[in-house]
Chains A and B, each alone.
Chain A
Amino acid sequence: MTDAPRTPIARIPRRRALAWVFVLSLGVAVAIAGGLAVQMALGRDPALGPKSVAAVAQPAQASPEVPAAPEAVPASPAPVPSPVQSTPS
């Protein structure tokens, strides 16, 4: 009985093939982890899609029914202070 002709891949020793599979898997894992790290660095939470990580970290915003106090925005230019007198008491 003669041996069947061996394909090129079959000619690769089993241990070397396992080593290649391990190296390729490691490379894929590193690539995925790197991608996640880049997304985090850009301020995106990969688990929440495009939502900003900073926004998630913020406390809940005031609801539309309870608006925050308006900031200082004078409606007109500040008047020049009027002169006063320090009369004796």
Chain B
Amino acid sequence: MRPRESERSFDLFGSRVRLLAGVPATGDALEPNLALALGEGALRVLHRRLSRFEPGSELSRLNADPRETVPVSASLAGFAAAAIESARRSGGLVDPTILDDLESAGYAFSRVGRAPADLTAALAAAPPRAPAAADERRRWAGIHVDVAAGTVRRPPGVRIDGGGVAKGYAADLLARRLSGFSSFCVDCGGDLRLGGADGLPREVTVPSPFAGAEPIRLTASRGGIATSGIARGIWRHGDGFAHHLIDPSRGTPAWTGLVQVTAIAPTATEAEIRAKAALLSGPERARGMLADGGVLINDDGDFELVGAIARSEAAAA
């Protein structure tokens, strides 16, 4: 019987984090359990810097800073650069400057431990479906990060939200430390970064947001996989419902006809950007956002495999 991967699980980023590592495959790899313990420490440090729900976090202090140019740590500079890149790559759909709208929709505090509202009821009460669009003001374009100098320059008052890419960014950072193992996986609340020296395939399941529906099973050996959806972050708001995926052009939650999108990409950060951009684009344009494949789940529960996944399924049939 073959041994199991070393594993370490803990709660962070408002979700469950799971770290997995096989056996050392290069001379500089640490003992797996030690490497995973160090990995947990690194992620906790990153979370303390990037959480918007902790007033003392470096991100919160940056958002409250009245200066135009603010010195920041290398971690926050890299994260801010990734957030701006997410807006650029998605044409402004994954916008890191929508924090005011997010708070107006009822997401001013962490919702960890709160049960989500019923998805079917929310979909029934939601406005007519429409694709989201970019905010014409393009406030994100006014944020400039100098990673070498360790500074962020932006118009005072423009706040940066980490929700779009924080977990994928964290997964990618830690993946660099685990590349010397036969296999590894950094699972930051479902944003996955896979890899390993041996290129071993790993089964990845994507749960359906609809009760009773079968999960979708994929196989991947390396790269990023991320899923963006409204079901787990939906709540009652006023007379209706709200969720955390904001349409930047309207400043309100987006109801596009898609409830969940999984994206495959070279990195977890890129996968997270593609998944959010595809969901916000709506069913007609989402496929074009999934260059390396993915899964689309519609309001009615139907799902569609896109790209390489669809081709491999067809070949297996």
Given contacts A79-B4, A80-B2, contact A89 B23 (CB under 8 A): no
A25→B165 CA distance, assembly (Å): 84
Contact present for B203 and A79 (CB under 8 Å): no
A22→B28 CA distance, assembly (Å): 66
Contact present for A79 and B232 (CB under 8 Å): no
A78 within 8 A of B: yes
A22→B157 CA distance, assembly (Å): 99
Chain B, interface size category, equals 35 or more
B229 within 8 A of A: yes
B201 within 8 A of A: yes
Contact present for B20 and A81 (CB under 8 Å): yes
Q: Give, as a whole number of angstroms, the nearest-CB distance from A51 to chain B.
A: 30
Contact present for A86 and B23 (CB under 8 Å): no
> Which residues of A come within 8 Å of B, CB atoms?
69-72, 74-89
Contact present for A84 and B18 (CB under 8 Å): yes
List CB contacts (< 8 Å) of B1-41 with chain A. 2-5, 7, 15, 18, 20, 22-28
Q: Give, as a whole number of angstroms, the nearest-CB distance from B19 to chain A.
A: 11
Q: Give, as a whole number of angstroms, the nearest-CB distance from B223 to chain A.
A: 12
B267 within 8 A of A: no
Chain A interface, >50% SS class: loop
Contact present for A87 and B202 (CB under 8 Å): no
Give a binary string over B201-234; 1 marks a CB under 8 Å from any A CB, 0 the rest. 1111111010000010000010001111111110
Contact present for A78 and B204 (CB under 8 Å): no
Contact present for B167 and A89 (CB under 8 Å): yes
Residues of B within 8 A of A83 (CB): 202-205
Contact present for B23 and A74 (CB under 8 Å): yes
Residues of B within 8 A of A76 (CB): 3, 23
Residue from A70, A75, A88 whose CB has the most chain B CB atoms within 10 Å: A88
Interface pairs A-B: 6 shortest CB-CB:
A88-B229, A87-B190, A78-B182, A81-B202, A83-B203, A69-B27
- Picked from A69, A78, A84, A87, the residue with its CB within 8 Å of the CB of B23 is A78
- Picked from B190, B200, B205, the residue with its CB within 8 Å of the CB of A89 is B190
- Picked from B4, B28, B200, B202, the residue with its CB within 8 Å of the CB of A69 is B28
Contact present for B228 and A79 (CB under 8 Å): no
| 10 A–B pairs (Cβ distance < 8 Å), ordered by A | A72-B24, A78-B23, A81-B5, A82-B4, A84-B194, A85-B204, A86-B204, A86-B225, A89-B190, A89-B228
